[in-house]
Chain A
């Protein structure tokens, strides 16, 4: 019963979380986030929760903390693939603002494309 944090070199701003994110494992995620957020300019930090089985408020605190660090620099966080049990907790606390929660990577990509298109047309 532990947390595994998987980093994909092809997607440098994606953290895939596996297992349980609770009081005991949240500090591990905080430490990983601190290392990652040292490099400035991250526009979008993505948490892939496809294999996360358990999430408590301590884990949500990590997500909020990441938001608070990124937002002053114009960055955002996105959560993809939450499984039903985790989705239920996210729904209860509404900790992820509208436009930050995606069923899967494809939906996220589509959203990002749309945003880029809008930005270009806006230019």
Chain B
């Protein structure tokens, strides 16, 4: 193989890489934008089907912003019809400003949305459409592009009439920042550009020098108009030949252009080749030197052979070898020939595999970072203090088909979901991206878990040519009372860990997996999570992990791993166990585990300082401990019990230092309060009940306190233990209504 041929092959490979890189970058952008388009269309579709009153529009707009951090602003603008009071100008606009969501009213006459292109084009064409770049004065106050989707209502006579337009805006400054973050290979420059319009938008990809963009853009438009995507172009400035790769984006209708200098490419190729060959040739020379050392003075043919090999120029593997003779040196010559050929093959294969690997790495890098960004980050949302959520997702490959999500709804409930796409890799990740977006949109709009499953299924089952499906579990948990609603589409049933450590499998009303049959209805189950209880959801990567005995882990043995009260520790222990290859664990699927619990306030102790404000502090502490555990009236009675008992202890101490503690144990069926003090032995239960008649005296009041305690508690017991008075109070837990 000649030097020239190798260089040409490498050049062709690098050029092909540029072409493919353009395709992949374009696909990467589409991958971010397409779910947004789908989400806006879903909202439009919902407006048609559900027809919510305009007061609820704000909630749905916020849903879009909540689902996609990429979206800058969004509105639902109502079509105005003269004489129809239901069709007055109405367009609440929510957009991001300084890290918060700001509001602006687009229905003001000064803005006049119904005449603006972003509204008009969607309204007139009846089709979803991306706007050209524009500055949104009076709205988002920034340069942006807008995706507008019209929605329709049916007249009483059945005619379909335009009802309005749903939009999502992309901030062009954001596009600029994202494009600048992409890393391009050396000697490559790239641009992202809107189609020609009054306000063109062109932004460099990576750290590309923005000069020359116009020439490249003109060449790219020319190339696209001829249906081409790749070719040589000559830049007039330096007359240097460059490769140009161009792609039209499927989503934004924009172009993505990459330019690679040819001469630099050749230099690069030469360097790579030289590095590759140097090792091979050095090896050959060493080998031949060793042989000739052994054979020196024995055989001239061997020396000639050595000269031939030694004379091989840098990078040239096509050196001539003498004709093989019919003796031992001939055997050596044949061996050298085979070595030379296999070295050539090796160099060629290595160059190709490096190129292929780089391509794959790049593709996976984009997909993995997009996927990671979709998982909820606990620090980014404020969970109610009593809620404990922990989750882990470990893809078997760089990108996976598992998903989980959780977020707090406006009414304070937690919405959570876990899912497993039937495939792995990029296609599964794309499918997963759609599901994640839909969960956010529908969840924020206030849909119930079973409706969310049905809606997602309706969307994904349509035109599901790849026949992919996803099993999905989705639920809501009200942290105030532990009420839990859960629906399942073919997903593994969750486990419930009781506060005493018992594990139960939840019987779900399981429906078909999502994506199979468009018209599927799902039913939810309801249960109640008590403090200290944890709901554990997982994908089959967890339950089907193979253990040392060669059998699958299964949910029963998984249950035995759930020994921790704290969801965080629980998830960590399971993941550690599954990753423990030394214990013979074998995993070859994505692993996802999510645990949701109400904080266990099971057993806490408080030591009030009775000399100071201890009684009041103990009452406040108890109120916090029991909030949500007992109904408010019962919490107030527990406070009253604490006040009466601690006041008695304090009074009996008569200024002498007494150490008192209050312990609170929250069980499944009862709450136990234990009051201890190291004062003189005193059994309040042994005292006679106060005379409750008209002649009650002020001095009887101490007896009144203990009488109140006995009447309010379900059980009171006294004992003297280790020099302490111990008073145990039991309050039975009734079902919270």
A72, chain B: closest CB distance, angstroms? 13
Contact stretch, chosen from A7-15, A34-42, A92-100, A112-120: A92-100
Q: What residues of chain B lie closer than 8 Å to A24, measured between beta carbons? A: 615-616
Contact stretch, chosen from B34-42, B398-406, B696-704: B696-704
Q: What residues of chain A lie closer than 8 Å to B696, measured between beta carbons? A: 64, 95
Q: Is A44 an interface residue (CB 8 A)?
A: no
Q: What residues of chain A lie closer than 8 Å to B705, measured between beta carbons? A: 56-57
B711 touches A92 (CB 8 A): yes
- Per the bound structure, the CA–CA distance linking A105 and B588 in Å amounts to 76
Q: Is B633 an interface residue (CB 8 A)?
A: yes
Q: Is B640 an interface residue (CB 8 A)?
A: yes
- Per the bound structure, the CA–CA distance linking A79 and B620 in Å amounts to 28
A22 touches B643 (CB 8 A): yes
B696, chain A: closest CB distance, angstroms? 6
- Per the bound structure, the CA–CA distance linking A23 and B712 in Å amounts to 18
B701 touches A60 (CB 8 A): yes
Q: Given A23-B615, A23-B643, A56-B643 in contact, is the A93-B704 Cβ separation under 8 Å?
A: yes
Q: Is A65 an interface residue (CB 8 A)?
A: yes
Q: Is A3 an interface residue (CB 8 A)?
A: no
Interface string of A56-95 (1 = CB under 8 A from B): 1110110011001000000000000000110011001111
A57 touches B615 (CB 8 A): no
B708 touches A93 (CB 8 A): yes
Q: What residues of chain A lie closer than 8 Å to B644, measured between beta carbons? A: 56-57
Q: Is B637 an interface residue (CB 8 A)?
A: yes
Interface residues in A, total, Cβ within 8 A: 23
B620, chain A: closest CB distance, angstroms? 8
Q: Is B169 an interface residue (CB 8 A)?
A: no
A85 touches B636 (CB 8 A): yes
Q: What residues of chain B lie closer than 8 Å to A68, measured between beta carbons? A: 697-698
A97 touches B694 (CB 8 A): yes
Q: Is A18 an interface residue (CB 8 A)?
A: no
A64 touches B640 (CB 8 A): no
Interface string of B616-643 (1 = CB under 8 A from A): 1000100000000000010011011001
Interface string of B467-487 (1 = CB under 8 A from A): 000000000000000000000
The chain A residue sitting closest to B702, CB to CB, is A57
**Most A-side CB within 10 Å, residue of B615, B692, B701:** B701
Q: What residues of chain A lie closer than 8 Å to B647, measured between beta carbons? A: 23, 56, 58
Q: Is B707 an interface residue (CB 8 A)?
A: yes
A93 touches B707 (CB 8 A): yes
Q: Given A23-B615, A60-B701, A61-B701 in contact, is the A89-B708 Cβ separation under 8 Å?
A: yes
B692 touches A94 (CB 8 A): yes
- Per the bound structure, the CA–CA distance linking A54 and B707 in Å amounts to 17
Q: What residues of chain B lie closer than 8 Å to A85, measured between beta carbons? A: 633, 636-637
Q: What residues of chain B lie closer than 8 Å to A23, measured between beta carbons? A: 615, 643, 647
B620, B633, B697, B708: the one within 8 Å of A92 (CB): B708
A65 touches B694 (CB 8 A): no
The chain B residue sitting closest to A64, CB to CB, is B698
Q: What residues of chain A lie closer than 8 Å to B636, measured between beta carbons? A: 53-54, 85
Cβ contacts A to B, 10 pairs, < 8 Å: A53-B636, A54-B636, A54-B639, A54-B640, A57-B705, A60-B704, A65-B698, A89-B640, A89-B708, A92-B711
